[in-house]
């Protein structure tokens, strides 16, 4: 079935209140739902009430307390249609369903994992619990009573505030929860089981005390302390930066080990993948800590952007997701180094969203069509959606942006809103017309900016000629010019900013050029020397930049731009050009030519003590194989990409071995572990140096020593990665892997790192390793984290292994996707997107990839999720 944005219609009936009673049982859970129904004004009494279901079993049904005749309703697992309805506009429908949480392996609706009952209802999981108008524009007040065996489930949680608890006969007990805030069904949640917890409290700025708790598996409580700290910082930050206060007496977080996504913002009861809650120095890397801080903040921020103001329909998903990602990005930037955080965001966007935009799965930030909404929780909706919000702030400035956000909360609190509503608050707050800007929500694809420069010494003018273009994407052949905000600076030979006397042509406001036409020129006057232009500072728009800036200017920017993002962009441009030239030579049977200037530049930035260690680490880490492949664009040979990249690493390592070794020693950890950004930055730089030094030394000794000495997971995992990826056949690598398994074999979440490091070892032979690891005692395709660690990492982060020239890895991948699809379609569909760039491979690999996709497409009984992805991917 195809869903279309323009088909939106309000429902005939509303459900202002719902009362749910859960009688929990592992295989036979009984759900009694009492819905207060309201017929909308002007709707005939003959209009049927049609409720959504999914795999449901109706046990009983009454309307206003009376059973209906056989002609009064029609029930299937997917739908309950009630035709025999009272004349009055308000009535009550009571529905009893029976569900089986144990056999629910889709992890949607109510399921039971590791003995814990939990729910996931976004997007359409509530209909797997009871029949309902399961769409985000139906807002109801929920009262939930949970009954369960006290031995099996001492903890009983749902949304809102706990109102009552008590004992029942036969060792059972109950809890009643009430959420006073009307909410859509996708925000409903229930958790029940035997869990440990830590508690704390937060006092809001208006003086209300909120009880906080994080529930985890027994014994893991200490590992939740960092998440709790991040939660309290998030609550404070949202008050200070967005003026948003929490609105219930309690806030609960639960970590579960079987979860399809990162986490879920259910009102007052956030449910998390344990990966985004559990951390301590022994088991979590710095990246894990940063991920926890970001996801805790993200889900908490949804309380206002998502829950208080929700989405009218799922086409508006970016209304809550793009905005909330923007908010969590800003939070992390304030907690850590803003520049380093921004560069990490740009890297993520380029790595995940740009390929999506350039391939068969491209779609607008606000899609207009979908077959399976779960396939639209994408980098485009989330990350590009966040960039669109950031551009609004760039265009309006921080004050008007805040004014617009205040207006958004004031005007739409308690509503299910649209992107049009969102854009309008900024127009109203600023008096600006944003209709052209709104094309960012409508047009898929990454715009390219092509730029040329002209300095006239006699006239003292500097001209920047800008041209935007946007390729066709599926379903959109013709594109209109967009409003692109380009932050810029002009830099003089002394490294200082040049302030031109005036600008004509395209609009220039302070440090932003507003490109609105397809092609425009800005002419600056009073420019006394030829400046070096820095464009797209702060990565002010999600575009690609083709600039005819000479190599010397890029070198100058890499060393002198006052904007760190500008420096990093210039360096990345230089490195990428070199790496691509290297790929060409490798494919022609020649060795890459080493550019001593660039090798020197990398050494210079690495040694510059004035710069943040984390920033230097980012500069020292060369563009990845998939970055290089993406920038080449077509006819990719991953083996040649790896060879070119390794040649440059070797040249840099060889040229700077001595200073790198000295710096490696100087950065050694002293004192106890702290996950703060500055310490993490030093570890990142030191671990990047470890890789170079190991290459220069041609020996695993240094990594082996670091592995042994490591007192934290960041250093241990980095050493293991060098051992396995650079010296995979050595005894040291084998010993380190065995030691890791010995030490962490009881902890599947930590063992994911062990699976990942092996799955990402470059080279064709890794397929055998992955196939063998499928039989490891800790591995199971049923658990999403395990499947992502082994299969996901292999398919997305091992260019040479996955894209073996003989196609064997694609065939293995197709078989595995089909196996996963039987249990968990959402997970299978998500993993399958790893093949989205198949058309950009060289012909032999491309044919193998197409055959694997065709094998999937030709399979009977595919889920709707996988069918949608495979059909769009094949095009």
Q: Which of the choices ligand ARG, Zn ion, none does residue 625 contact, using the CB cut-off of 5 to 8 A by kind?
A: none
Name the E strands within 340-447.
Answer: 369-370, 416-417
Residue 513: phi and psi, rounded to 5, are -90, 130
286 binds ligand ARG (CB under 6 A): no
CA dist., res. 111 & res. 366, Å (int)? 31
Beta-bridged to residue 99, according to DSSP, are 29
Task: Scan for tokens 């073996």, then name that residue.
Answer: 804
258 binds ligand ARG (CB under 6 A): no
527, 493 Cβ separation under 8 angstroms: no
122 binds ligand ARG (CB under 6 A): yes
851, 394 Cβ separation under 8 angstroms: no
56 binds ligand ARG (CB under 6 A): no
Residue 212: phi and psi, rounded to 5, are -110, 140
220, 278 Cβ separation under 8 angstroms: yes
3-state secondary structure of 246: coil
Residues in the interface with Zn ion (CB under 5 A) total 2
Figure out which of the listed residues 264, 642, 724, 853 binds ligand ARG, where binding follows CB under 6 A.
264
Figure out which of the listed residues 179, 238, 258, 265 binds ligand ARG, where binding follows CB under 6 A.
265
299 binds ligand ARG (CB under 6 A): yes
Query: Whole-number minimum distance, CB 53 to ligand ARG, in Å?
Result: 18
Query: Whole-number minimum distance, CB 305 to Zn ion, in Å?
Result: 9
Candidates 223-231, 261-269, 397-405, 666-674 — which segment interacts with ligand ARG by CB under 6 A? 261-269
For the record, the structure tokens of 612 come out as 């943040």
261 binds ligand ARG (CB under 6 A): yes
123 binds ligand ARG (CB under 6 A): yes
263 binds ligand ARG (CB under 6 A): yes
Closer to ligand ARG at the Cβ: 122 or 152? 122
CA dist., res. 829 & res. 343, Å (int)? 29
Residues belonging to the active site: 299
Query: Whole-number minimum distance, CB 327 to Zn ion, in Å?
Result: 10
CA dist., res. 857 & res. 690, Å (int)? 44
710, 716 Cβ separation under 8 angstroms: yes
The residues, ordered by sequence, that sit 6+ positions from 772 with a Cβ below 8 Å of its Cβ are none
Q: Which of the choices Zn ion, ligand ARG, none does residue 263 contact, using the CB cut-off of 5 to 8 A by kind?
A: ligand ARG
The residues, ordered by sequence, that sit 6+ positions from 655 with a Cβ below 8 Å of its Cβ are 596, 599, 600, 603
**Subset of residues 315 to 344 that bind Zn ion, contact rule: CB under 5 A:** 321, 324
Closer to Zn ion at the Cβ: 324 or 443? 324
| C-alpha angle 61-67-71 in degrees, rounded to nearest 5 | 90
Query: Whole-number minimum distance, CB 394 to Zn ion, in Å?
Result: 22
Candidates 200-208, 218-226, 262-270, 405-413 — which segment interacts with ligand ARG by CB under 6 A? 262-270
Q: Which of the choices Zn ion, ligand ARG, none does residue 97 contact, using the CB cut-off of 5 to 8 A by kind?
A: none
374 binds ligand ARG (CB under 6 A): yes
188 binds ligand ARG (CB under 6 A): no
CA dist., res. 511 & res. 262, Å (int)? 37
Q: Which of the choices Zn ion, ligand ARG, none does residue 383 contact, using the CB cut-off of 5 to 8 A by kind?
A: none
CA 536 to chain centroid, in Å, comes to: 23
| Omega before 123 within 30 of 0, i.e. cis | yes
Query: Whole-number minimum distance, CB 386 to ligand ARG, in Å?
Result: 12
| Cα–Cα separations (whole angstroms), residue 233 to 230, 251, 324, 386, 700 | 5, 14, 16, 21, 41
Closest CA to 740 of 705, 708, 703: 708
Q: Which of the choices Zn ion, ligand ARG, none does residue 122 contact, using the CB cut-off of 5 to 8 A by kind?
A: ligand ARG
832 binds ligand ARG (CB under 6 A): no
Closer to Zn ion at the Cβ: 321 or 561? 321
865 binds ligand ARG (CB under 6 A): no
317 binds ligand ARG (CB under 6 A): no
723 binds ligand ARG (CB under 6 A): no
Residue 537: phi and psi, rounded to 5, are -55, 145
Q: Which of the choices ligand ARG, Zn ion, none does residue 133 contact, using the CB cut-off of 5 to 8 A by kind?
A: none
Residues in the interface with ligand ARG (CB under 6 A) total 12
Query: Whole-number minimum distance, CB 830 to ligand ARG, in Å?
Result: 9
Q: Which residues would be at the binding site for ligand ARG (CB under 6 A)?
A: 122-123, 260-261, 263-265, 298-299, 321, 374, 377
Q: Which residues would be at the binding site for Zn ion (CB under 5 A)?
A: 321, 324
């Amino acid at each position: 079935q195809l869903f279309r944005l323009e088909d939106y219609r309000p429902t005939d009936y509303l459900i202002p209140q719902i009362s749910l009673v859960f009688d929990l049982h592992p295989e036979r859970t009984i759900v009694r739902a009492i819905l207060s129904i309201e017929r909308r004004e002007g709707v005939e009494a003959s209009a049927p009430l049609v409720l959504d279901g999914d795999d449901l079993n109706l046990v009983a049904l009454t309307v206003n307390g009376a059973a209906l005749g056989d002609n009064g309703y029609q029930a299937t697992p997917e739908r309950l249609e009630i035709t025999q309805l009272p004349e009055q506009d308000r009535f009550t429908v009571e529905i009893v369903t029976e569900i089986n949480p144990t056999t629910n392996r889709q992890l949607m609706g109510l399921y039971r994992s590791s003995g814990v009952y939990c729910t996931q209802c976004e997007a359409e999981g509530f209909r797997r619990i009871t029949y309902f108008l399961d769409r985000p524009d139906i807002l109801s007040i929920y009262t939930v009573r949970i009954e369960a065996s006290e031995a099996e489930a001492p903890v009983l949680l749902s949304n809102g505030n706990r109102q009552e608890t008590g004992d029942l006969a036969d060792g059972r007990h109950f809890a009643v929860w009430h959420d006073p805030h009307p909410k859509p069904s996708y925000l409903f949640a229930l958790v029940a089981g035997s869990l440990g917890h830590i508690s704390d409290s937060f006092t809001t700025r208006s003086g209300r005390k909120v009880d906080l708790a994080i529930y985890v598996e027994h014994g893991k409580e200490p590992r939740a302390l960092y998440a709790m700290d991040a939660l309290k910082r998030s609550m404070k930050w949202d008050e200070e930066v967005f003026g948003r206060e929490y609105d219930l007496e309690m806030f609960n977080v639960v970590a579960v080990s079987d979860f399809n996504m990162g986490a879920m913002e259910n009102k007052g009861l956030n449910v998390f993948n344990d990966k985004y809650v559990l951390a301590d120095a022994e088991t979590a890397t710095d990246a894990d800590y940063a991920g926890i801080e970001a996801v805790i903040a993200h889900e908490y921020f949804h309380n206002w952007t998502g829950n208080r103001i929700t989405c009218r329909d799922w086409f508006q998903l970016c209304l809550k997701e793009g905005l909330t990602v923007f908010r969590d990005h800003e939070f992390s930037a304030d907690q850590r180094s803003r520049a380093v955080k921004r560069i990490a965001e740009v890297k993520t966007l380029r790595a995940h969203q740009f390929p999506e935009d350039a391939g068969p799965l491209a779609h607008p930030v606000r899609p207009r069509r979908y077959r399976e909404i779960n396939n639209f929780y994408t980098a485009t909706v989330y990350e590009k959606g966040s960039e669109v919000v950031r551009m609004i702030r760039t265009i309006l400035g921080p004050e008007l942006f805040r004014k617009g956000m205040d207006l958004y909360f004031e005007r739409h609190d308690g509503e299910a809103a649209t992107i049009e509503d969102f854009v309008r608050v900024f127009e109203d707050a600023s008096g600006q017309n944003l209709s052209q800007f709104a094309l960012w929500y409508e047009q898929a694809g990454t715009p390219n900016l092509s730029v040329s420069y002209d300095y006239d010494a006699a006239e003292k003018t500097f001209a920047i000629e800008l041209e935007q273009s946007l390729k066709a994407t599926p379903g959109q052949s013709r594109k209109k010019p967009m409003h692109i905000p380009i932050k810029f600076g002009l830099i003089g030979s002394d490294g200082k900013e040049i302030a031109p006397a005036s600008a004509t042509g395209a609009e220039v406001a302070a440090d932003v050029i507003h490109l609105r036409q397809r092609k425009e020129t800005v002419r600056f006057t009073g420019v006394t020397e030829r400046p070096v232009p820095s464009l797209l500072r702060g990565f002010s728009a999600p575009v690609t930049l083709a600039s005819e800036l000479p190599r010397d200017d890029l070198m100058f920017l890499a060393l002198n731009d006052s904007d760190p993002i500008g420096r990093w962009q210039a360096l990345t441009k230089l490195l990428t050009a070199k790496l691509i030239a290297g790929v060409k030579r490798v494919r022609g049977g020649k060795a890459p030519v080493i550019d001593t200037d660039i090798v020197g530049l990398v050494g210079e930035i690495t040694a510059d003590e004035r710069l943040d260690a984390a920033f230097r680490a980012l500069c020292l880490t060369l563009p990845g194989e998939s970055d290089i492949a993406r920038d080449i664009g077509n006819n990719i040979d991953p083996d040649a990409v790896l060879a070119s990249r390794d040649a440059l690493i070797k040249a840099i390592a060889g040229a700077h071995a001595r200073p790198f070794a000295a710096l490696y020693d100087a950065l050694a950890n002293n004192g106890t572990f702290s996950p703060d950004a500055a310490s993490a930055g030093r570890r990142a730089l030191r671990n990047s140096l470890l890789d170079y030094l190991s290459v220069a030394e041609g020996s695993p000794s240094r990594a082996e020593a670091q592995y042994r000495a490591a007192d934290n997971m960041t250093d241990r995992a980095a050493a293991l990665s060098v051992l396995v990826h650079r010296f995979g056949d050595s005894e040291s690598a084998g010993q380190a892997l065995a030691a890791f398994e010995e030490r962490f074999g009881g902890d599947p979440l930590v063992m994911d790192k062990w699976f990942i490091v092996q799955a990402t070892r470059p080279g064709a032979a890794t397929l055998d390793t992955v196939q063998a690891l499928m039989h490891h005692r800790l591995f199971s395709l049923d658990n999403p984290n395990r499947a992502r660690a082994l299969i996901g990492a292999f398919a997305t982060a091992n260019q040479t292994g996955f894209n073996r020239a003989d196609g064997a890895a694609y065939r293995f991948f197709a078989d595995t996707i089909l196996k996963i699809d039987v249990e968990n379609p959402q997970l299978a569909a998500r993993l399958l997107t790893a093949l989205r760039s198949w058309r950009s491979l060289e012909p032999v690999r491309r044919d193998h990839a197409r055959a694997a996709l065709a094998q999937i497409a030709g399979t009977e009984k595919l889920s709707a999720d996988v069918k949608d992805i495979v059909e769009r991917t094949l095009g």
